Structure 1
Amino acid sequence: MLSIALAAALAASAATPAWHDGLDWHGVHVSMSQDAQGSYTLAWPYGQRVIPVQPLHTDTASPLFDGLFAMAQDDLKQDSVTAIRDGAFDHGQPIPCQCFETGLKWPYVWTRDLSYSVDLGLWRFDPARSRNGLQFKLSDVRVPSAPQGLYVMQDTGSGGSWPISTDRVVWFLGAQHLLGDKAFAADVYRALGNTLAQDRQYAFDAGFGLYRGETSFLDWREQTYPAWTADNVVAIGQSFALSTNVLHYQALQLAASQADAHHDAKAASDYRAQAATLKTAINAHFWRADRGLYMSYLGGDGTPYDTYDLLGIALAITSGVADGERARQTLANYPTWPAGSPVIWPERADQPIYHNRAIWPFVSAYALRAARTVNAPSRIAHEIESVMRGAALYGSNMENYELLTQGQHVDEGKLSGPVVNSPRQVWSVAAYFAVVTEGVFGLTEDGHVEPKLPTSLVPMLFGQRTSITLNLPDRQITLQLPAHHDGNLLVADRADTHGTSTVVTLKAIQVQDTPLRTDAPLYAPTAPAAPVLTADAGSWHVQVDGKVMLFINGQRHGSIDGNGQLARQPGLLCVNATRIDAQGLESLHSPDICVGDVTKMAGNWPRMWMASATGNYRVSLDYANEHGPINTGITATVKMLLIRCAGSDEQRLPIVMPHSIGVQHSTWGRFAAKAGAGCQFTLDDGFNMSYLTHFAHYTGGAGGSDGPLNQADVRELVIAPLATETTTP
């Protein structure tokens, strides 16, 4: 009897068109059915989920597509709460909030998770709850001596949070959709001015024209940055990330348009100028021509890293930072696997699965937006199918999936993962909404209907039908199939709107469509150890482990095998190395080894020093900050170093001292001095996240309920002359 039943089930599965009533993946069959009352049942070998009738619905030829839209609504209903909680706030007690919690395993609200979710479409489905959550992430200041204002919060994070991480400006990506509420719009404008001014003061580097700070969302250091950052995040705070800079560009654009709305022509002009120069700087520094890709991040001295992330690239395309051929090329050159697109590439062979070797649906949704921007049918279809498949396989909109199998967990010993994987993760729920509203029905942010539907999806969505429909709270959208669709992309031929109903007649066109890149190597090589430099009669003897590529002061120097010599030159010489494998992939960089004339000064402030030569100098502090662990907290120490040199204007440099393990160097800055000039150094207070009123609720570490804290054990002032030109072989 068992064999007969199994044979019947297999026969039924074979008779069901793929992606209609179900799908098959890696030997697993899932099915979606609908009863007479309109409820759906999603079933797979180990369980099932009954999905109640939902207020919104799609009407297509695919019960799977329609049922997953109902499931996304049911997931969102479960994420809609009256209180949130986190062990690090109010001792884990519930905090009233009519908002979205982040997921089953993450019952709190985080700035980036919520903001990306709102931007992907939650503002359409529950604007009040979206606003409430965003409002929860704003705060005024509780330190009377600090600049007052309304600021977006950077959540607890790397080295004690901001400005090691600076992607809090993602908040404006979500907030821009909710400006119809006048009180909220006023808060947005105020927070824009305060937050952007603060980031300009403490995170902007005028020399590069870029904002410093960690990659957005990719905040587990060892997964994406060199392994040595596990114990020292200063290099991350010194570095520049593509995603975070694009988010600043978008925030500046919003600030300009809001200044226009407030009739402040000067502010609007200033914001537009800052946005324009930032776009130029991003394209000048992050574009890697030999790869045809935008790099994920750069070292603090401009060192190029051969690593890429899909969210940064997608945001660069959709924001307009990447335009024309670069936009098309960077998406086409970012690799895919059958299950979907990885959030980083190349992967790390020594790291567990989480951001590494993983698919995240919300990032896939941004890749879908980017693919629509550049008219890439194969990529549009690939991202839609990836988001759908993941939700169908596991009966919820999961946080993430393993790249090669789209598994929710793969057992590989110490590399097993995803390490954490929460059901009904709110930005994954938003990703499915984006697949439906934007990816299939072409609903744009401004309410226009601009379908860009790959013809490869016609069998799934239309079957034998000639039309499909989306029913939203305030409108109905119907797409009508043309008699012939021989091209690769369906777009609007004409649209007729009557009241809240829009009927779009489609037409097929043929666009240039680069095939998905499926030939990329999976793993990058492991980074080498730091070079060893020893003084050797007018030169530096360099010893490295095997054949490596040497970088000096941020510039590629050349390959070296085992040993070599570097000529001594005036100024600081900072050397690191990478390894390049047989496939041409380059590892992440080793730590820097810096040699040259260095002056260290201890004692009381102010401290005095005399310049030996006219030129530029690098300055930092030796310090210890043991107020919290490397991976979290709100007490990164942020100070302003005031430098007054005879014959020169005052120079102000932000100095960041994140949580440390023992004594280490702070972030560094550049200043200029003339030969023989006496310089006075004074350390003034800066600003950190503990200064915000909201963090009085933080009970997970220092700087919270026990009061603001922006202090470190400051040791020597460290000064070194910068090289006047790049060292050459």
Structure 2
Amino acid sequence: MLKTIYLTAALGAALVSTAAAADLTFDGRTARATAAADGSFQLLADGKPVAIAAQPMRSRTDSVMFDALFALAQQDMAADRVDAIRDPAFNFGNPVDCECFQTGERWPYVWTRDVSFAADLALARLEPIRTRQSLQFKLSKARDGVTPGLFVAQDTGSGGSWPISSDRVVWFLAARDLHDNSSFMTETWQALQATLAQDRAMVFDSRTGLYRGETSFLDWREQTYPDWTRNDVRFIGDSFALSTNVLHYQALRLAEKYARELGDDRASEYAAWADALATQIDARFWREDAGMYMSYIGEAAHPVPYAKYDLLGISLGVLAEVFPAERARRSLANYPYVDGGSPVVWPQEAQQPIYHNRAVWPFVSAYSLRAARKVDDATRIQREIESLMRGSALAGSNMENYEMRTLAVHVDEGPLSGPVVNSPRQLWSVAGYLSMVLEGVFGVEADGSVAPKLPVALVPQLFGKRDSIELDTGSTRYILKRPRTLDGDLLVAEKIQRKGNTVTVQLEARRDTPRVSAFRADPANPNAFAPATPAAPAPQKRGNTWTIAIPANHQLWQDGIAVGSSATHTVTNDGHQHCLSLTRREGVLESLHSPMTCIGPQQRLPGATQWAWTAAKPTRVRIRLHYDNPNGPINTGVTAAVKQLAVHCAGQPVQRATIVMPHSIGPQDSTAAEFDLPKGSCRFTLEPGFNMSALEHFAQYNGGKGGRDGVLNAANVRALLIAPVAGDAEATR
């Protein structure tokens, strides 16, 4: 069972008469908070003293620990305010002027997703000017002075950044709450138009109706993707992630809103795109056997389900209302928790160190709390509030992440030790804690409305014998009055009175909240490690048939569909390429997919920029380039090679599709593109594309190529690979 927080009161000689000391005990470690008359606190965090100064916003509850940690979060936020930022990979580590929020004590720079999630959680409402300036730092024009538009910068990342990682649209999640500044609204509208158009052209896949790219925030590939992506991220760039698609949906809705306000005819187009995307998100990511939405699915060539789930993606989907109500409740209720709280991914990977794997991240817990409030899940609201308090109290700061069972900032397990990287006063963790207090406990929304949804289980801790608890923001005083009875599981507003700058809420216990049962991991195996990922299928060809052996407890998948119920499966050559993978099952848990093996006809056309091919009949083809891109390491950089592959066929309009060649270790295959070709000869040519090195934002980048040395969007192309596949042209010829 979850270890219980113990809060005890004791008078101290140095304290005011009504002040108390509070203990928080978890996993054999203890934190103690004491309050002073001037509004300051002293925190003893697992033996480490932390002085907390009086802060502009104050809570007054029966828990000195709760009040102290709220002040600590504000103190951490103040420490993240800077006049200049720096990073060794930019401007040679020299300061860059920016009255911004830095990302954390160990990360004195501004990163797109960190500042955006932090802004959305709390910073946009608490410090709009500095938040706006932080966001503006991530907007950029193209370096060539010709390409029109203002773009959101995707930070350095997997395979050379965008479009392998494509969650830069999270920026709009933050910008939507900063609409009180007309010039910033203009910039946001410009960035929406250019960024969404670029993503639609280069990231959107019309066959699946989804946007390609890496999971948002979960950007250390082998921590959450199969280990075989460690040195080859092509699959990540071809696959589809829940969180990234939900963020695109939110950006499209914001574009629709701005377009309607401006009388722009594209409003209906943005609305149609958003509606269609919501439908595909629900249809393609839902997994009925798990009762949850998957973190990602395979590429269009092999759109297999993956038994990987992530809390941020599910929470964002609940909040965006892209899930049907019942599935939203089920998905959140079925997501597991462990002693320390809700891990950010499930299940865990046994051979990976602690970072995203086996970890609680406070900002994700804060989004989970928001989502739990959305669906009235009292159990998860309670779990997330407790987890956030325990982590910051025992660490003495709002850390980047914690080991999931103990909430330790580091666990020594040899090569699996971690969290591998951690930082005090991590900005999105700070914002997550502030969001927990403002919304999660007091119910104060960003628009000033008040809608408390407080678990009855927290009444003894927060109210004690008090008649009310209070939040004073400096401009408004919010008072939650104790309910008359505790017969229920969730406290909501019975009556709200506003008088001057005071809002008084009479709470009542609600009995009709939806019944959900938060699922806890098997106590006998609380880490719940996924089975090891199998090796790729090894088809054996005899004549016109391939035979694939299926080991015991394994599942074979062909072209995105589970096939084969015996020890072998056969595929007859039908003139099309077919792609295969294996998963392994142990009990209720399923492994991630093996590498993909494709069988069937495929031609290799040597050359670097132009190729000719003749079709004997109307045919749908899948194209990849065989290439190498030595312009950066697998885990970072801005020089993923992005090109447009154009197909010229007699008597038909030119077709184009994006081909991405991420950083590689030696020769490998690119992302795929598919075309419907007529009978006869066609010519394929490579045309210029766009990558992040093309932005002015990266002109000061010195951490790799494509920065100070100029735009670089190139790879060594060796051949074009062309394979016929089943498609509309073949089916209707």
- Bin of the TM-score, shorter chain as denominator length: over 0.9
Letter in 1 for 2:277: L
The 8 Å contact of residues 533 and 542 in structure 1, kept in 2 or not, is answered as yes
TM-score (norm 1): 0.95
Letter in 1 for 2:318: I
- What is the alpha-carbon distance in structure 1 between the residues aligned to residue 235 and residue 451 of structure 2? 43
Alignment of 1:323-362 (within 5 A): 323-362=324-363
| 1:407 Cα deviation after fit | 1.1
- What is the alpha-carbon distance in structure 1 between the residues aligned to residue 197 and residue 85 of structure 2? 31
Letter in 2 for 1:452: K
The 8 Å contact of residues 550 and 560 in structure 1, kept in 2 or not, is answered as no
In structure 2, the residue matched to 1:654 is 658
In structure 1, the residue matched to 2:364 is 363
| 1:51 Cα deviation after fit | 0.4
| 1:515 Cα deviation after fit | 2.6
In structure 1, the residue matched to 2:298 is 299
- What is the alpha-carbon distance in structure 1 between the residues aligned to residue 673 and residue 65 of structure 2? 56
The farther-off stretch of 666-675 and 160-169 is: 666-675
- What is the alpha-carbon distance in structure 2 between the residues aligned to residue 105 and residue 692 of structure 1? 26
Alignment of 1:587-598 (within 5 A): 587-598=591-602
In structure 1, the residue matched to 2:605 is 601
1:382 aligns with 2:383: yes
The 8 Å contact of residues 158 and 164 in structure 2, kept in 1 or not, is answered as yes
In structure 2, the residue matched to 1:254 is 254
The 8 Å contact of residues 111 and 153 in structure 1, kept in 2 or not, is answered as yes
Letter in 2 for 1:702: K
Report the secondary structure of 1:497's partner residue: strand
| 1:468 Cα deviation after fit | 1.1
Letter in 2 for 1:535: K
In structure 1, the residue matched to 2:39 is 38
The 8 Å contact of residues 9 and 21 in structure 2, kept in 1 or not, is answered as no
1:713 aligns with 2:712: no
- What is the alpha-carbon distance in structure 1 between the residues aligned to residue 46 and residue 643 of structure 2? 58
| 1:198 Cα deviation after fit | 0.3
- What is the alpha-carbon distance in structure 2 between the residues aligned to residue 560 and residue 703 of structure 1? 51
The 8 Å contact of residues 637 and 656 in structure 1, kept in 2 or not, is answered as yes
The 8 Å contact of residues 31 and 47 in structure 2, kept in 1 or not, is answered as no
Letter in 1 for 2:546: W
Letter in 2 for 1:550: L
In structure 1, the residue matched to 2:542 is 536
The farther-off stretch of 302-311 and 440-449 is: 440-449
In structure 2, the residue matched to 1:516 is 518
In structure 2, the residue matched to 1:234 is 234
Structure 2, unaligned stretches of length 5 or more? 1-5, 12-19
Please give the per-residue CA displacement for 1:77-120, whole angstroms capped at 9, x wherever unaligned.
Answer: 11111111111101111111111111111111100000000000
Please give the per-residue CA displacement for 1:292-339, whole angstroms capped at 9, x wherever unaligned.
Answer: 110000111211101100000000000001131011010011111121
| 1:485 Cα deviation after fit | 2.3
The 8 Å contact of residues 242 and 312 in structure 1, kept in 2 or not, is answered as yes
| 1:647 Cα deviation after fit | 4.2
The 8 Å contact of residues 380 and 439 in structure 1, kept in 2 or not, is answered as yes
The farther-off stretch of 244-253 and 443-452 is: 443-452
In structure 2, the residue matched to 1:693 is 696
Check 1:75–1:477 CA distance in 2 against 1; reply closer, same or farther (3 A cut).
same
| 1:16 Cα deviation after fit | 6.5
| 1:37 Cα deviation after fit | 2.0
In structure 2, the residue matched to 1:25 is 26
- What is the alpha-carbon distance in structure 1 between the residues aligned to residue 441 and residue 46 of structure 2? 29
- What is the alpha-carbon distance in structure 2 between the residues aligned to residue 13 and residue 240 of structure 1? 45
Report the secondary structure of 2:521's partner residue: coil
Check 1:14–1:716 CA distance in 2 against 1; reply closer, same or farther (3 A cut).
same
Letter in 1 for 2:206: A
In structure 1, the residue matched to 2:289 is 290
The 8 Å contact of residues 628 and 701 in structure 1, kept in 2 or not, is answered as yes
- What is the alpha-carbon distance in structure 1 between the residues aligned to residue 8 and residue 83 of structure 2? 45
Letter in 1 for 2:434: F
Structure 1, unaligned stretches of length 5 or more? 1-11
- What is the alpha-carbon distance in structure 2 between the residues aligned to residue 66 and residue 111 of structure 1? 31
In structure 1, the residue matched to 2:3 is none
Task: Calculate percent identity across the aligned residue pairs.
Answer: 51
The 8 Å contact of residues 7 and 461 in structure 2, kept in 1 or not, is answered as no
- What is the alpha-carbon distance in structure 2 between the residues aligned to residue 113 and residue 558 of structure 1? 44
Check 1:531–1:508 CA distance in 2 against 1; reply closer, same or farther (3 A cut).
same
1:573 aligns with 2:578: yes
| 1:499 Cα deviation after fit | 2.5
- What is the alpha-carbon distance in structure 2 between the residues aligned to residue 586 and residue 604 of structure 1? 41
In structure 2, the residue matched to 1:6 is none
Letter in 2 for 1:389: R
Runs of 4+ in structure 1 deviating by more than 6 angstroms, as ranges, are: 12-17
| 1:717 Cα deviation after fit | 1.1
Check 1:257–1:47 CA distance in 2 against 1; reply closer, same or farther (3 A cut).
same
| 1:172 Cα deviation after fit | 0.5
| 1:14 Cα deviation after fit | 6.8
Please give the per-residue CA displacement for 1:638-682, whole angstroms capped at 9, x wherever unaligned.
Answer: 01111122343321110001001111111011101123x211111
Please give the per-residue CA displacement for 1:659-712, whole angstroms capped at 9, x wherever unaligned.
Answer: 01111111011101123x211111110100000011001000000000000111
1:633 aligns with 2:632: no
Please give the per-residue CA displacement for 1:200-237, whole angstroms capped at 9, x wherever unaligned.
Answer: 00000011110000000000000000101011000000
The 8 Å contact of residues 142 and 694 in structure 2, kept in 1 or not, is answered as yes
Please give the per-residue CA displacement for 1:351-374, whole angstroms capped at 9, x wherever unaligned.
Answer: 000000000000000000000000
The 8 Å contact of residues 576 and 591 in structure 1, kept in 2 or not, is answered as yes
Check 1:20–1:554 CA distance in 2 against 1; reply closer, same or farther (3 A cut).
farther
- What is the alpha-carbon distance in structure 2 between the residues aligned to residue 36 and residue 178 of structure 1? 36
Report the secondary structure of 2:352's partner residue: coil
Alignment of 1:451-530 (within 5 A): 451-510=452-511, 511-520=513-522, 522-530=528-536
| 1:519 Cα deviation after fit | 3.5
Report the secondary structure of 2:176's partner residue: helix
Give the aligned CA root-mean-square deviation in angstroms.
1.7
| 1:543 Cα deviation after fit | 4.0
Please give the per-residue CA displacement for 1:275-297, whole angstroms capped at 9, x wherever unaligned.
Answer: 00000010111011111110000
- What is the alpha-carbon distance in structure 2 between the residues aligned to residue 500 and residue 431 of structure 1? 25
In structure 2, the residue matched to 1:156 is 156
Report the secondary structure of 2:676's partner residue: strand
In structure 2, the residue matched to 1:47 is 48
Letter in 1 for 2:159: G
The 8 Å contact of residues 644 and 680 in structure 1, kept in 2 or not, is answered as yes
In structure 2, the residue matched to 1:280 is 279
Check 1:45–1:268 CA distance in 2 against 1; reply closer, same or farther (3 A cut).
closer
Please give the per-residue CA displacement for 1:484-507, whole angstroms capped at 9, x wherever unaligned.
Answer: 221111111111112222111111
- What is the alpha-carbon distance in structure 2 between the residues aligned to residue 308 and residue 604 of structure 1? 40
Letter in 2 for 1:298: I
- What is the alpha-carbon distance in structure 2 between the residues aligned to residue 283 and residue 509 of structure 1? 30
1:667 aligns with 2:671: yes
- What is the alpha-carbon distance in structure 1 between the residues aligned to residue 179 and residue 569 of structure 2? 61
1:271 aligns with 2:270: yes
| 1:723 Cα deviation after fit | 3.4
| 1:241 Cα deviation after fit | 0.2
| 1:724 Cα deviation after fit | 5.4
| 1:446 Cα deviation after fit | 2.2
- What is the alpha-carbon distance in structure 2 between the residues aligned to residue 55 and residue 181 of structure 1? 24
- What is the alpha-carbon distance in structure 2 between the residues aligned to residue 222 and residue 447 of structure 1? 42
Report the secondary structure of 1:168's partner residue: coil
In structure 1, the residue matched to 2:186 is 186
Report the secondary structure of 2:266's partner residue: helix
Please give the per-residue CA displacement for 1:518-548, whole angstroms capped at 9, x wherever unaligned.
Answer: 1356111010111112211221132466542
The 8 Å contact of residues 20 and 460 in structure 1, kept in 2 or not, is answered as no
Report the secondary structure of 2:110's partner residue: coil
Alignment of 1:202-217 (within 5 A): 202-217=202-217
- What is the alpha-carbon distance in structure 1 between the residues aligned to residue 219 and residue 266 of structure 2? 33
- What is the alpha-carbon distance in structure 2 between the residues aligned to residue 31 and residue 332 of structure 1? 32
| 1:421 Cα deviation after fit | 1.2
- What is the alpha-carbon distance in structure 1 between the residues aligned to residue 78 and residue 305 of structure 2? 44
